[in-house]
């Protein structure tokens, strides 16, 4: 047995492959069966007069869409076939029958979402899932090659970090104040005193009530935290990571990018140069000058504004020094301008929005306590966290990257939902 890819590499002679019927077309004399496995597709032909009666009947009656089959035959190059090779079948085994496969042509997005468990077999989803695997591998490799340890935080958490409005409360044996993780951060910072440089890829949960093409309620979050890191270091790690991810996909997934009809040139130019870096104030100026968009100082950037900004450049844009009021309590004040903080958002090209959010962390305990109170939080709830500033506090920082946001951008998807096998949103929790 061999994969379709291996059979095509062999190119001529006897082959045996196995997979699923991707498409079929039958006439009085011929059956054309396109077989799919995880590596490729290949057209297989049965000619009525040249095979035993039983084989012809199986080909006609039982080799239906998504039936699993083993094909034995002779392979040869054939320019007109979908993958430019063809197999003349000498024997056909039907392993698992499949009758009336529900997904036929021209189905609505909602129907395909209901049939997600079967739609995963489509060429589009298969291509995305392969790229997704490359992206996860690249994240692990990047951090490990840069001296980071993989570290894990709890997903049941008792403090909130990114704002109460998107917290998922859980019934934890009837006790109050238990939430699903929105981020690993508060539980990661204590570990930098042991490991210094750490990262994770883990699910984060956010009760997003908005129906955007960028928000899931469960997404995979690649996060890093590093002791002694400066604000510049954080941005450099983010840029390095994105370049590593995109570079790896360009190297390994040309076929998949082609199946997805991705404009590969745009992806290449996004990572060839240094990323654009500008402060929030500079963003306000450039949006005013070039797009006639006026943003009141102190307001967060909205999706439409981030999109306008992304249209001006072909690389990601790192926006720094946001007004304190729009960012989380743990971000460090700029020493030269206490109205802004050392937070940075990475805005993806081509209107894919924010893909990384990061910051230098406030290392001073009195500052943190003050910011918590200003944001209506009780510092007594954060005692374990405040200990990180009490015993050997160090300058440090980190970021979080939304893996599905990056996959959506790299694959050129219309919606983040296709970047994950079983998307979860306010309106979708099945299958
Ligand atoms: P946004 O403003 O786009 O909702 P955020 O400011 O809430 O993002 P952070 O809290 O900084 O995002 O989270 C870090 C990263 O996680 C973001 O840069 C983004 O890539 C990703 N992310 C955040 N929320 C979601 C979500 N609901 N679904 C998918 N990815 C998300
Ligand atoms: Mn959000």
- Whether residues 177 and 312 share a domain: the answer is yes
Same domain, 140 and 90: no
> What CATH number should be reported for the domain holding residue 86?
2.40.50.140
Q: In this structure, which residue's CA is closest to atom 22 in ligand 1?
A: 402
Q: Please list the residues that pair with 25 across neighbouring strands.
A: 32
Which pLDDT value is given to residue 98? 98
Q: Answer with the residue of higher pLDDT: 377 or 295.
A: 295
Residues framing ligand 1 (Cβ under 6 A): 162, 206, 208, 214-216, 219, 221, 353-357, 400-402, 404-405
pLDDT of 339 reads 96
In the reported structure, the alpha carbon of residue 402 is separated from the centroid of ligand 1 by a whole-number distance in angstroms of 6
**Which residues are CB-contacts of 61 (< 8 A; sequence separation ≥ 6)?**
none
Burial of 209 (0-12, 13-18, 19+ CB in 10 A): exposed
- Distance in Å, CA 213 to ligand 1 centroid: 12
Task: Indicate yes or no: pTM above 0.85.
Answer: yes
Indicate if 247 and 277 belong to the same structural domain.
yes
For the chain, what is the domain count? 2
Q: Are residues 236 and 312 in the same domain?
A: yes
Predicted confidence (pLDDT) per residue in 255-299, tens digit: 999 999 999 999 999 999 999 999 999 999 999 999 999 999 999
Q: What element of type H or E holds 154?
A: none
Residue nearest atom 30 in ligand 1 by C-alpha distance: 402
Distance 211 CA to ligand 2 centre (A): 12
- The mean per-residue pLDDT over the stretch 418-424 comes to 98
pLDDT of residue 366: 96
Report yes or no: 283 and 269 within 8 Å, Cβ to Cβ.
no
Alpha carbon distance 153, 222 (integer Å):
12
Tell me the average pLDDT across 95-108. Answer: 94
CATH number for 263: 3.30.930.10
Q: What's the pLDDT at 101?
A: 97
- Mean pLDDT over 415-419 rounds to 97
- Check residue 168 and give its pLDDT: 95
Q: How far is the CA of 88 from the centre of ligand 1 (A)?
A: 51
How far is the centre of ligand 2, averaged over its atoms, from the C-alpha of 374 (Å)? 20
Q: Do 74 and 126 fall into the same domain? A: no
Give the pLDDT score at 93.
98
**Is residue 137 a part of any domain in this protein?**
yes
Q: Coil, helix or strand for 297?
A: coil
Interval between CA 118 and ligand 2 midpoint (Å): 31
- Domain end among 64, 96, 128: 96
The closest residue, in CA terms, to atom 7 on ligand 1 is: 162
109 belongs to a structural domain: no
Same domain, 80 and 150: no
Co-location of 135 and 216 in the same domain: yes
Query: Mean pLDDT score of the chain, rounded to an integer?
Result: 96
User: What is the number of the ligand closest to the CA of 215?
Assistant: 1
Cβ contact 47:74 at 8 Å: no
* CB atoms inside a 10 Å sphere around CB 54: 9
Residues 66 and 126 in one domain: no
DSSP codes joined into one string, 83-113: TSEEEEEEEEEEEE---S-S--SS--HHHHH
Atom of ligand 1 lying closest to residue 345 CA: 18
Is 213 found in the same domain as 346? yes
Distance 398 CA to ligand 1 centre (A): 14
Backbone angles phi, psi at 397, to 5 degrees: -175, 180
Residues 309 and 204 in one domain: yes
Among protein residues, the one with the nearest Cα to ligand 1's atom 6 is: 357
Q: Which atom of ligand 1 is nearest to the CA of 357?
A: 11
Query: Is a pLDDT exceeding 80 seen at residue 248?
Result: yes
Distance CA 157, CA 179 (A): 5
Q: Which pair of structure tokens corresponds to residue 298? A: 């102190």
How is residue 289 annotated by DSSP? H
Strand ranges (E), 97-161:
149-150, 156-157
Q: How far is the CA of 264 from the centre of ligand 1 (A)?
A: 25
CB 332, CB 341: distance < 8 Å = yes
Q: Is the pLDDT of residue 305 over 90?
A: yes
Q: Smallest Cα–Cα separation from 215: which of 368, 353, 343? A: 353
Does residue 302 fall inside a structural domain? yes
pLDDT of 82 > 90? The answer is yes
The reply to whether 59 falls in a domain is yes
Q: Is residue 110 part of a domain?
A: no
Q: How many CB atoms lie within 10 A of CB 338?
A: 9
CA distance 414 to 115: 19
Whose atoms come closest to the Cα of 165: which ligand? 2
Number of H-type helices and E-type strands within the chain: 15, 15
Asked whether 178 and 172 are in contact (CB, 8 A), the reply is yes
354, 413, 426: residue to mutate for ligand 1 pocket, most atoms within 8 A of CB: 354
CB–CB of 307/333 below 8 Å?
A: no
Is residue 57 located within the same domain as residue 136?
Answer: no
Query: Which residues form the domain of 252?
Result: 116-419
The SS3 assignment for 82 reads: coil
């Amino acid at each position: 047995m061999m994969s379709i890819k291996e059979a095509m590499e062999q190119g001529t002679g006897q082959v045996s492959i196995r997979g699923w019927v991707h498409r079929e077309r039958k006439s009085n004399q011929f059956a054309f069966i396109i077989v799919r496995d995880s590596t490729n597709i290949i057209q297989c032909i049965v000619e009525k007069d040249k095979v035993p009666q039983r084989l012809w009947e199986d080909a006609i009656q039982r080799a239906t869409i998504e039936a699993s089959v083993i094909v034995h035959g002779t392979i040869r190059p054939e320019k007109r076939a979908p993958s430019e090779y063809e197999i003349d079948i000498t024997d056909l085994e039907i392993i698992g029958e499949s009758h009336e496969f529900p997904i036929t042509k021209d189905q609505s997005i909602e129907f395909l979402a209901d049939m997600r468990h079967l739609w995963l077999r489509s060429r589009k989803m298969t291509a995305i899932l392969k790229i997704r695997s490359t992206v996860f591998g690249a994240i692990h490799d990047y951090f490990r090659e840069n001296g980071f340890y993989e570290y894990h935080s709890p997903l049941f958490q008792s403090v909130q970090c990114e704002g109460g409005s998107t917290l998922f409360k859980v019934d934890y044996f009837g006790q109050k104040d238990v939430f699903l993780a929105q981020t690993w951060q508060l539980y990661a910072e204590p570990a930098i005193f042991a490991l210094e440089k750490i990262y994770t890829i883990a699910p984060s949960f956010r009760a997003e009530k908005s129906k955007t093409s960028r928000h899931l309620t469960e997404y995979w979050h690649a996060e890093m935290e590093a002791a002694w890191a400066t604000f510049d270091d954080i941005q450099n790690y983010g840029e390095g990571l994105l370049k590593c991810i995109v570079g790896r996909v360009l190297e390994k997934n040309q076929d998949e990018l082609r199946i997805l009809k991705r404009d590969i040139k745009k992806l290449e130019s996004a990572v060839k140069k240094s990323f654009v870096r500008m402060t929030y104030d500079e963003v306000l100026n450039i949006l005013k000058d070039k797009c006639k968009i006026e943003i009141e100082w102190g307001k967060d950037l909205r999706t439409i504004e981030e999109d306008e900004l992304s249209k001006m450049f072909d690389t990601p844009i790192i926006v720094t020094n946001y007004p304190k009021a729009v960012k989380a309590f743990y971000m460090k004040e700029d020493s030269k301008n206490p109205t802004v903080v050392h937070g940075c958002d990475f805005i993806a090209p081509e209107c894919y929005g924010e893909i990384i959010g990061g910051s230098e962390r406030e290392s001073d305990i009195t500052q943190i306590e003050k910011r918590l109170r200003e944001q209506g939080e009780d510092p007594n709830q954060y005692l374990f966290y405040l200990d990180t500033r009490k015993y050997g506090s160090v300058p440090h920082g980190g970021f979080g990257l939304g893996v599905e946001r990056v996959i959506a951008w790299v694959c050129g998807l219309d919606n983040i939902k296709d970047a994950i096998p079983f998307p979860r949103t306010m309106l979708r929790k099945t299958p």
